[in-house]
Chains A and B, each alone.
Chain A
Amino acid sequence: MNAIEIKGLTKNFGAKQALKGLDMTVPVGAIYGFIGENGSGKSTTEKIICGLIHPNAGQVRLFGKDYTDADVRANVGVLIEEPGCFPNYSVWNNMMLQAANLSIKNPEKEVVKVLKTVRMEGAASNKYKNCSLGMKQRIGIAMALLGNPALLVLDEPINGLDADGMRIMREVLTDITKNYGCTVVVSSHILGELEKIATHYGIVRGGKMIKEMTAAELDVSCRTYVALQTKDMNRTKALLACKYSRVEEDESGYIRVYDAKEPEEIVLYLYESGITVSEIRTDKIGLEEYYIDLMNEKEVR
């Protein structure tokens, strides 16, 4: 069974078509990385899943039932944009209100548990308005976790956080997947972070799903390349460009050769041309580069 099954989802905002027949499948138990540029339709899709906006056409099913089904929806946790908290209430009171809304038995125990999960147990008495962005995002996740939801929808939970905030958030998300066993849909622009936790990916562009795959499929799809450094980088690059179709210099000052079979082949070729390789290794492109490649491919088409 799939946690989310979307077919032909269309949403118009006036003359602008935000979603153009989007399809999406999220298996139960998956951590689904939902990727796309700004305005590609990620947030709109998530808001529809959560019942906050209504589609113009298409079908949305959650755990095999229509997304408007009250019983299913009671099992969805959400963090979209900012957490829905009253700024003058303490973190604890905000959590208790949501726990009461969900008719949770023994709410104090449950609130303590979720606050501990998001590393916020020490800040329960803080007023929500005095919390930092990272803390607010974690409070939002804690709130979404109340009642042990079967589906968790997190919209850009990492964005805007500093390095430490990102690390804590990554730990929190990893803990959630381990301990709560819920299906998670998480969108983010920070693909490097997403890559560390996601089991499935969906790449959306212009309101359409252009690729859905598992982490294993991504691994296969991510091409290997040879990265090297020499003393004469310009000449090396020019020489390699004569033999190989795709040669690039990356941000860290390495030349990348994408279609070389073995590093030895490059070392030998350069040696014959009088260039000594000072450092060489093989590596794989990550999600970010795969995503950029995919976007470029689609643009060319």
Chain B
Amino acid sequence: MNMKFEHNRFGKRLRSMLKVDFRRMFTMPLFYIMAGVSLVIPVLILVMTTMMDGSVSVDPTTGVETVIEGFDNVWQAIGTLSGEGSAMSMDLTGMCNINMMYFIAAVFVCLFVYDDFRSGYAKNLFTVRSKKSDYVISKTLIGFVGGACMLIAFFAGAMLGGAVAGLPFETTAGVGGIVMCMLSKIFLVGAFVPIYVLMSVVGKQKLWLSLIGSLGISMLFFMMIPSLTPLDAGAVNVILCLAGGVLFSVGFGAISNQVLNKTSLV
């Protein structure tokens, strides 16, 4: 007796997995909490720093006075102009901007994948699906969409915060530059997410390992974000970030696939 089994094509397999993952993402509180946090953070940053702008803090031990400088305009929370230098400044405006969302995306991806392994859902999944690449692709796409949503939420929050704080909206970058900047940042999420997915499949049920690994490795690339995605970005920046996203997705995705193929899944 010969048993014949239906052949499931790659497209069908991926479609069903994406359907499940998107349904999960858009029904889980974690996504909305993360998106909410991404929306609220810029409002708080812009309003608080504007309120404290120019105030002086004194170190009680050394007596050194520091003048707190707030944002000059709303767009500083989104990016810096390429003429302002490619290096990332380590002051308040250089650190507390949209680039923080790459770390929020890391937390989101790690928690999402951790939930798969902790609940045993991954066990169900890998029993009926021997192709681990489906899983890696699906998680990468979910992470990408989730990360993009957070960047957009931050952008919206920055606009809102800027309006509330009464910061100017003028910039020399122009609307086109800002759109290209946001597109570059969104595509750059594609370069970070495969790292998070890799660290998450390495860590599996060890969330701390996934988080430390993801944040640690992404820190290495974090300094490059301002120069790759300036506020006055052009098509070259977008293409560069897109290419980087694809390259990292393929490279780190292949490593994640190997990790899943070679290690225990329970």
Given contacts A74-B6, A85-B119, A103-B12, contact A53 B264 (CB under 8 A): yes
Contact present for B265 and A52 (CB under 8 Å):
yes
**Chain B 9-25 interface 0/1 with A at a Cβ cutoff of 8 Å (1 = within):** 00011011101100110
In angstroms, how far is the closest chain A Cβ from the Cβ of B122? 7
B206 CB–A CB distance under 8 Å:
no
> In the assembly, what is the distance between CA of A86 and CA of B265, in Å?
17
Residues of B within 8 A of A97 (CB): 20, 23-24, 121
A278 CB–B CB distance under 8 Å:
no
Identify which of A75-83, A218-226, A264-272 touches chain B. Answer: A75-83
Contact present for B125 and A54 (CB under 8 Å):
no
Residues of A within 8 A of B220 (CB): none
Centre residue among B19, B119, B262 by max chain A CB count within 10 A: B119
Contact present for B119 and A73 (CB under 8 Å):
no
**Chain A 1-19 interface 0/1 with B at a Cβ cutoff of 8 Å (1 = within):** 1000000000000000000
In angstroms, how far is the closest chain A Cβ from the Cβ of B117? 9
Contact present for B124 and A82 (CB under 8 Å):
no
Residues of B within 8 A of A64 (CB): 2-3
Residues of B within 8 A of A85 (CB): 119-121
Closest to A43 in B: B266
Closest to A98 in B: B124
User: Which residues 170-191 in A have Cβ within 8 Å of B in the complex?
Assistant: none
B69 CB–A CB distance under 8 Å:
no
> In the assembly, what is the distance between CA of A81 and CA of B266, in Å?
10
A101 CB–B CB distance under 8 Å:
yes
In angstroms, how far is the closest chain A Cβ from the Cβ of B200? 17
With beta carbons under 8 angstroms apart, the residue of A70, A82, A83, A100 that contacts B130 is A70
User: Which residues 34-60 in A have Cβ within 8 Å of B in the complex?
Assistant: 47, 50-54
With beta carbons under 8 angstroms apart, the residue of B1, B5, B121, B263 that contacts A71 is B5
> In the assembly, what is the distance between CA of A75 and CA of B214, in Å?
35
> In the assembly, what is the distance between CA of A63 and CA of B3, in Å?
7
Closest to B120 in A: A84
Contact present for A71 and B7 (CB under 8 Å):
yes
A143 CB–B CB distance under 8 Å:
yes
**Is chain A's binding surface mostly helix, strand, loop or mixed?**
loop
With beta carbons under 8 angstroms apart, the residue of A1, A47, A75 that contacts B1 is A1
> In the assembly, what is the distance between CA of A91 and CA of B261, in Å?
30
Given contacts A86-B115, A100-B16, contact A28 B130 (CB under 8 A): no
A294 CB–B CB distance under 8 Å:
no
Closest to B261 in A: A54
A150 CB–B CB distance under 8 Å:
yes
A68 CB–B CB distance under 8 Å:
yes
B32 CB–A CB distance under 8 Å:
no
Residues of B within 8 A of A147 (CB): 128
Closest to B115 in A: A86
User: Which residues 216-243 in A have Cβ within 8 Å of B in the complex?
Assistant: none
In angstroms, how far is the closest chain A Cβ from the Cβ of B87? 44
> In the assembly, what is the distance between CA of A86 and CA of B27, in Å?
12
B172 CB–A CB distance under 8 Å:
no
Closest to A104 in B: B16
A250 CB–B CB distance under 8 Å:
no
In angstroms, how far is the closest chain B Cβ from the Cβ of A12? 12
> In the assembly, what is the distance between CA of A122 and CA of B129, in Å?
30
Residues of B within 8 A of A53 (CB): 264-266
Residues of B within 8 A of A143 (CB): 124
In angstroms, how far is the closest chain A Cβ from the Cβ of B69? 44
B62 CB–A CB distance under 8 Å:
no
> In the assembly, what is the distance between CA of A69 and CA of B6, in Å?
12
Residues of A within 8 A of B119 (CB): 84-87
Contact present for A80 and B20 (CB under 8 Å):
no
Closest to A69 in B: B130
In angstroms, how far is the closest chain B Cβ from the Cβ of A87? 7
Contact present for B128 and A73 (CB under 8 Å):
yes
Contact present for A51 and B126 (CB under 8 Å):
yes
Contact present for A74 and B264 (CB under 8 Å):
no
Contact present for B264 and A76 (CB under 8 Å):
no
In angstroms, how far is the closest chain A Cβ from the Cβ of B12? 6
Given contacts A51-B130, A85-B120, contact A101 B2 (CB under 8 A): no
A133 CB–B CB distance under 8 Å:
no
Given contacts A72-B5, A86-B115, contact A101 B17 (CB under 8 A): yes
Contact present for B129 and A74 (CB under 8 Å):
yes
Given contacts A78-B123, A101-B125, contact A73 B130 (CB under 8 A): yes
Given contacts A53-B265, A70-B8, contact A76 B127 (CB under 8 A): yes
Closest 9 CB pairs of A and B: A84-B120, A84-B124, A71-B5, A103-B16, A50-B127, A78-B127, A73-B130, A53-B264, A84-B121
Q: List 9 A-B contacts (CB under 8 A).
A: A1-B3, A51-B130, A52-B264, A74-B128, A76-B127, A80-B123, A81-B266, A98-B124, A103-B15
